Amino acid sequence: MRTNDPLPVNEMFYTLQGEARWAGTPAVFVRLQGCNVGCPFCDTKHTWRVEQENEVALWAMLQKDADNERYASMLPEDIGQTIRDQWPTVRHIVLTGGEPADYDLRGLCAVLERDGRSVQIETSGTAPIRASDTAWVTVSPKIDMPGGREVIEQPVARANEIKHPTSTERHLKQLQALLARGWHAPGTDIWLQPLSQHPLATQRCIEWCKQYGYRLSLQTHKYVMIR
Ligand code: SF4
């Protein structure tokens, strides 16, 4: 795949980023179709398969219900133009999925940053990041998932923040084993994010944050019931 090839876009929507460093920031989310990491707790399983029969026109993708497999193939310039048309004042764009790092994002970053917007990429850490040097990379490491993909060094080293979905001691140990490899840059923010909104899950993460000096990332959009 080349830098300016079309990307399969499952949905684009305007909301607030709910998590980690950019929490509270108005952002357009661009959700790309396609992921075979296979996380059991995935809340976007409809993005896993890229089937040509599900390709639709841009207008149909923009108007569809959120949780289905339909997508539009969009050139980076088309994505930039859609944002210019629909959300001209937005300053921050989140590229999510699916697994956006399965695609070469350099062309899209160039278009969005040329328009004066900041770009954030949310990734599982299982594919090399192909993005601008200035894009903010959030690695949410998906360790030992059924899809069999491994977390690799390049995205962890490139990460501006590591945000780990956590609910059990096993999750905590997995994160700590990853950090012990020393791939991440000094000063990278390390966040624990409770896997659910259950108070017990949050309380555990709070205790571990206090014990190990991590930061707490809540999925604030779920508490205020926005997307
Ligand atoms: S990496 Fe993300 S999109 Fe892929 S299965 Fe895991 S949670 Fe779902």
Please give the backbone phi and psi of residue 30, each rounded to the nearest 5 degrees, phi first: -115, 110
pLDDT above 90 coverage of the chain, percent: 89
User: Distance between CA atoms of 151 and 145, rounded to whole angstroms?
Assistant: 10
Residue 186 confidence class, pLDDT cut points 50, 70, 90: very high
Contact call for residues 122 and 95 (beta carbons, < 8 A)? yes
What per-residue confidence (pLDDT) applies to 23?
95
Judging by beta carbons within 10 Å of its beta carbon (0-12, 13-18, 19+), is residue 154 exposed, middle or buried?
middle
Please give the backbone phi and psi of residue 125, each rounded to the nearest 5 degrees, phi first: 80, 15
Question: How far from 101 is each of 1, 7, 120, 208, 219, CA to CA, in Å?
Answer: 12, 11, 12, 29, 22
Residue scoring higher pLDDT (195 or 214): 214
What per-residue confidence (pLDDT) applies to 197?
84
Q: What kind of architecture, by CATH, is found in domain 7-162?
A: Alpha-Beta Barrel (3.20)
Q: Please determine, for residue 1, whether its predicted confidence score (pLDDT) is greater than 70.
A: no
- Protein residue whose Cα sits closest to atom 7 of ligand 1: 42
User: Distance between CA atoms of 55 and 70, rounded to whole angstroms?
Assistant: 6
Q: Please determine, for residue 223, whether its predicted confidence score (pLDDT) is greater than 90.
A: no
Mutating to test ligand 1, I would choose from 19, 44, 123, 140 the residue with most ligand atoms within 8 A of its C-beta, which is 44
Cα 29 to ligand 1 centroid, rounded to whole Å: 15
What per-residue confidence (pLDDT) applies to 227?
84
Helices H, strands E: what count in the chain? 7, 9
Report the Cα 97 to chain-centroid distance in Å. Answer: 6
Q: Please determine, for residue 206, whether its predicted confidence score (pLDDT) is greater than 80.
A: yes
Residue 49 confidence class, pLDDT cut points 50, 70, 90: very high
Summarize pLDDT for 113-159 with one digit per residue, the tens: 999 999 999 999 999 999 999 999 999 999 999 999 999 999 999 99
Summarize pLDDT for 4-40 with one digit per residue, the tens: 899 999 999 999 999 999 999 999 999 999 999 999 9
Assess whether the C-beta atom of 138 lies below 6 angstroms from ligand 1: no
- Protein residue whose Cα sits closest to atom 2 of ligand 1: 98
Assess whether the C-beta atom of 192 lies below 6 angstroms from ligand 1: no
Return mean pLDDT, the chain. Answer: 96
Domain ranges of the chain: 7-162
Summarize pLDDT for 91-110 with one digit per residue, the tens: 999 999 999 999 999 999 99
Cα 2 to ligand 1 centroid, rounded to whole Å: 23
